[in-house]
């Protein structure tokens, strides 16, 4: 070392620290890179992203290359600093100890922590250009990597650790995708985020959760006089009506109101038979069908309206394609009288909310931020009847899921109007914060 100028030794030391920092930063950037973003860039023709994906599919070889090179560089840096110290201060134990401490400090600060923080902060920006350097290096070091991995594989087999999992494509679960959408709120408009989150929930809910209940179905009875049928058709709120004979469980078809109106305009005496000729076959849906599956069925069968029935074939409600679309994108159609619109769900200045007993529990939880149980009845009326096990009188209050519920009006053996009182934040939660 005496024949080598001091400035050359210092330059060599700086070069070794720089190379160590380079490979440490490369390792962190490659491991922290977002695989899904890389695949997106690769599909758009980005060669750096494609090369990075190629390297990440060979993680064992990639890590072996980086760690082998980094270990050799750090060993050379330590030896060089020790040699410089001995040549300048003599071959004493204290000199070697101080030199070792100095080189450890330099490597930790400038070749480990700092470059790895940079690599973790800008993973894709660093990984893409570095991949063009690492790929040819991997080809050159292939024999050394193979030799080292031979011992690594043997050691891991002794520990009964199976390798090769990194070569499989990583797949995200529904909950992981949901978390990504929630975390991407700063990049995704709130409306789009809401639609995506609703899509994830379609398989968790059944048509029973989004249907129009039996009591609210607007249907046509062919057993009544033709004058009543005509009057109902001229005042109805829908384009299609279920048609039954005598009672709602005997549905015989679906009537297109526009066709019926053309029939009414004719100058002839109408009978139920005239309307029966216009009927199309009804489409029945089991009540436990999940909404996503039903959306596919509507598409495959070219239907827009279905009658929801239970296991005994009795009508429970009606679901349309619009109901499912509204579950995804929010309410957009004009509701008929008797139904509750989204803007009806709000707390007044006293923290109270008046709702009809037929209101869906899911809508209440969604718009008022409550946690009413959904594993049983689907409406507020059904929930109260299940809890009380009796048809109550008006002005009875009870507490369900930390929410005070007051029965305001009871009519025809059903709870018609209910007052909800907003739950108060418990003091224990405030103290914990």
CATH number of the domain at 395, please. Answer: 3.30.465.10
Are 14 and 150 in the same domain? yes
- 298, 367: one domain: no
**Spacing of C-alpha 289 from chain mean position:** 21
Structural domain including 291 reads 202-329
> Is residue 336 assigned to a domain?
no
- State which residues of the chain have pLDDT below 70: 1-3, 163-172, 184-187, 266-268, 331-343, 425-433
User: Does one domain contain both 356 and 280?
Assistant: no
Q: Are residues 291 and 265 in the same domain?
A: yes
| Structural domain includes residue 261 | yes
Same domain for 323 and 346: no
d(CA 135, CA 142): 11
Based on the fold, state whether residues 428 and 321 are members of the same structural domain: no
* Domain membership flag for residue 400: yes
Q: Please write the tens of the pLDDT for every residue from 382-403.
A: 888 888 888 887 788 888 888 8
Q: What is the pLDDT of residue 242?
A: 93
Domain assignment present for residue 188? The answer is no
Residue 323 and residue 349 share a domain: no
Instruction: Report the sign of the C-alpha dihedral through residues 230, 235, 239, 243, in that order.
Output: negative
| pLDDT of amino acid 430 | 46
Q: Are residues 306 and 238 in the same domain?
A: yes
Same domain assignment for residues 231 and 130: no
CB count, 10 Å around CB of 137?
15
Burial class of residue 297 in the structure, from the number of CB atoms within 10 Å of its CB (0-12 exposed, 13-18 middle, 19+ buried): middle
Domain final residue pick, 329, 353, 376: 329
Q: Tell me, what's the pLDDT at 209?
A: 84
Burial label, 107 (beta-carbon count in 10 A; 0-12, 13-18, 19+): buried
**183 located within any domain:** no
- 93's tokens: 């134990």
Angstrom distance (rounded) from CA 387 to CA 42? 57
Q: Is residue 153 part of a domain?
A: yes
CATH number of the domain encompassing residue 268 = 3.10.580.10
Beta-bridge partner residues of 212: 318
Q: Is the pTM above the cut of 0.85?
A: no
**Domain presence at residue 393:** yes
If one counts every other C-beta atom within 10 angstroms of the C-beta of residue 231, the result is 12
- Asked, for residue 126, whether it belongs to a domain, the answer is yes
Instruction: Name the domain count of the chain.
Output: 3
8 Å CB contact between 71 and 64: no
Number of C-beta neighbours around residue 155 at 10 A: 10
The pLDDT value recorded for residue 164 is 55
**Residue 31 shares a structural domain with residue 71:** yes
What's the CA gap between 170 and 179, in Å, rounded?
A: 16
Whole-angstrom distance, CA of residue 211 vs CA of residue 310 = 13
Residues 42-78 have pLDDT tens digits of 888 899 899 999 998 888 889 889 999 999 998 898 8
Instruction: Tell whether 144 and 78 lie within a shared domain.
Output: yes
Pair 126, 217 in one domain:
no
């Amino acid at each position: 070392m005496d024949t080598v100028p001091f400035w050359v030794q210092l330059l060599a030391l700086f070069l070794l620290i720089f190379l160590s920092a380079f490979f440490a930063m490369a390792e962190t950037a490659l491991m922290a890179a977002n695989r899904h973003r890389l695949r997106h860039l690769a599909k758009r023709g980005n060669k750096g992203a494609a090369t990075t994906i190629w390297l990440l599919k060979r993680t064992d070889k990639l890590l072996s290359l980086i760690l082998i090179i980094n270990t050799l560089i750090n060993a050379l840096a330590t030896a060089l600093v020790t040699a410089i110290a001995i040549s300048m201060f003599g071959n004493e134990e204290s000199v070697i100890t101080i030199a070792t401490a100095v080189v450890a400090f330099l490597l930790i600060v400038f070749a480990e922590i700092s470059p790895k923080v940079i690599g973790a902060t800008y993973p894709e920006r660093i990984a893409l250009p570095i991949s063009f350097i690492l790929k040819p290096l991997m080809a050159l070091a292939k024999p050394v990597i193979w030799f080292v991995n031979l011992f690594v594989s043997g050691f891991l087999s002794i520990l009964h650790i199976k390798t090769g999992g990194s070569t499989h494509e990583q797949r995200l679960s529904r909950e992981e995708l949901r978390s990504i959408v929630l975390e991407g709120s700063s990049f995704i408009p709130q409306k789009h985020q809401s639609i995506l989150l609703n899509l994830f929930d379609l398989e968790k809910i059944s048509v029973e959760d989004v249907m129009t209940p039996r009591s609210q179905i607007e249907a046509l009875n062919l057993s009544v006089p033709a004058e009543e049928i005509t009057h109902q058709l001229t005042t109805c709120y829908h384009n299609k009506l279920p048609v039954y004979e005598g009672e709602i469980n005997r549905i015989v078809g679906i009537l297109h109101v526009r066709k019926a109106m053309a029939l009414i305009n004719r100058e002839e005496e109408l009978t139920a038979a005239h309307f029966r000729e216009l009927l199309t076959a009804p489409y029945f849906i089991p009540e436990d069908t999940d909404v996503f599956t039903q959306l596919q069925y509507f598409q495959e069968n070219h239907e827009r309206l279905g009658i929801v029935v239970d296991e005994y074939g009795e009508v429970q409600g009606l679901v349309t394609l619009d109901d499912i679309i509204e579950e995804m994108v929010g309410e957009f159609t004009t509701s008929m009288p008797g139904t509750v619109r989204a803007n009806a769900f709000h707390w007044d200045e006293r923290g109270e909310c008046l709702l009809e007993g037929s209101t869906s529990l899911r809508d209440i939880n969604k718009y008022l931020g409550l946690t009413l149980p959904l594993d049983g009845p689907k409406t507020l009326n059904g929930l109260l009847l299940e809890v009380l096990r009796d048809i109550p009188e008006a002005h009875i209050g009870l507490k369900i899921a930390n929410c005070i519920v007051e029965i305001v009006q009871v009519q025809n053996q059903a709870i018609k109007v209910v007052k909800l009182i907003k739950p108060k934040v418990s003091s224990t939660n405030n103290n914990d914060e």
